[in-house]
């Protein structure tokens, strides 16, 4: 039996237990890589929460440089990945953190051998999530990507209509589960955004186009803020322009009703895949602490400080009054 729904949508609002909630997320695509990755991420969750992060996203097929692949050739799921994900989901939900569980990743070999096997993979993964009340489903990462064309004889992931078919498969497996899929480019994103429960994307500026130009009327979530990691090639080192971009995205998400953003950095995604905060994002002091501090300031939080102490469970106050007022008007 499906758990009582804790995640619902009311127009542009994402509701967590009936309350409109802004998602401030971190992309940890390779969290399921092995038990060590999962344990290190779990150890960091209290720190993330203290700085205002209330959402995570990972993939059953991992991310770039990873090797995770939870799907078998017949579309069934590898138990080791499910055990790992269960631990992560339980720890996230214990902290009232929302999770977007991604299924397919464009750079990982597609193991299911037929379209029916792909549909079975979607159905089984979604059905498995039934006990978890704060999880959303992301069918495929960057379904616009050319890599999917290599498997088009199995399933045409590049076709928005085919993605919508998989969204329907997920809905049938767990009615009421919020489901979407992310891509770049309005011509790919819009047909799926209109069909899905939530409008997922990884295209800077697309949230405003979806919300205002096309009036999709539902939450828009940028699952890979900037479209790619702005510390690519030098994990944990960010230029001044990169930091300014992220600041702009955080402030606009705080002001625009229905816009949600996930921070993406190779600090998390590329070896050695660190989940601690590190430092100021400079060559002498690499890390992502600067972003977490930016988010905390924007949200009016006062974290414990650079010790990254575990066990702190601050109550998130409302955003600053001027930000809340702006958000209500947009």
Q: Which domains does the chain have, with CATH numbers?
A: 7-329 (3.20.20.80)
**Cα-only R_g, the chain:** 18
Sequence-ordered list of residues with C-beta below 8 angstroms from that of 23, at least 6 positions apart, any chain: 14, 54, 55, 98, 219, 221, 260, 261, 262
The Cα–Cα gap between 163 and 140 comes to 8
What predicted TM-score, i.e. pTM, was given to this entire model? 0.92
Interstrand relation of 220-222 and 55-59 (parallel, antiparallel or unpaired): unpaired
Give pLDDT tens digits along the chain (330 positions).
Answer: 445 689 999 999 999 999 999 999 999 999 999 999 999 999 999 999 999 999 999 999 999 999 999 999 999 999 999 999 999 999 999 999 999 999 999 999 999 999 999 999 999 999 999 999 999 999 999 999 999 999 999 999 999 999 999 999 999 999 999 999 999 999 999 999 999 999 999 999 899 999 999 999 999 999 999 889 999 999 999 999 999 999 999 999 999 999 999 999 999 999 999 999 999 999 999 999 999 999 999 999 999 755 554 332 333 333 333 334 344 445
Residue appearing with tokens 């998390």: 268
| Residue closest to 273 by CA, chosen among 288, 259, 285 | 288
Report the alpha-carbon distance of residue 225 to residue 204 in Å, rounded: 7
């Amino acid at each position: 039996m499906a758990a009582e729904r804790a995640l619902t949508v009311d127009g542009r609002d994402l509701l967590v237990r009936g309350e409109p909630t802004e998602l401030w997320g971190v992309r940890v695509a390779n969290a399921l890589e092995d038990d060590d990755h999962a344990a290190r991420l779990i150890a960091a969750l209290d720190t993330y929460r203290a700085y205002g992060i209330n959402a995570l996203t990972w993939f059953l097929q991992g991310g770039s440089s990873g090797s995770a692949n939870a799907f078998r050739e017949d579309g069934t799921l590898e138990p080791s990945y499910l055990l790992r994900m269960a631990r992560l989901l339980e720890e996230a939900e214990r902290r009232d953190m929302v999770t977007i569980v991604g299924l397919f990743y464009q750079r990982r070999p597609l193991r299911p051998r037929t379209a029916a096997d792909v549909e079975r993979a979607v159905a089984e993964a979604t059905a498995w999530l039934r006990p978890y009340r704060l999880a959303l489903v992301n069918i495929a990462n960057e379904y616009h990507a050319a890599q999917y064309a290599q498997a088009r004889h199995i399933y045409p992931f590049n076709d928005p209509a085919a993605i919508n078919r998989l969204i329907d498969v997920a809905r049938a497996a767990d009615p009421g589960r919020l489901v979407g899929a992310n891509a770049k480019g309005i011509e790919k994103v819009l047909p799926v955004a209109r069909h899905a429960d939530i409008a997922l994307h990884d295209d800077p500026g697309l949230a405003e186009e979806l919300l205002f130009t096309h009036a999709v009327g539902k939450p828009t979530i940028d699952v890979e803020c900037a479209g790619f990691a702005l510390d690519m090639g030098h994990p944990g080192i960010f230029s001044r322009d990169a930091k300014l971009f992220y600041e702009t995205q955080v402030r606009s998400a705080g002001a625009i009703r229905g816009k949600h953003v996930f921070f993406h950095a190779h600090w998390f995604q590329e070896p050695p895949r660190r989940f601690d905060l590190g430092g100021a994002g400079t060559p002498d002091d690499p890390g992502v602490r600067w972003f977490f501090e930016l988010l905390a300031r924007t949200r009016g939080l006062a974290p414990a400080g650079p010790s990254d102490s575990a066990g702190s469970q601050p109550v998130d106050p409302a955003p600053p009054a001027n930000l809340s007022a702006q958000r209500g008007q947009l």
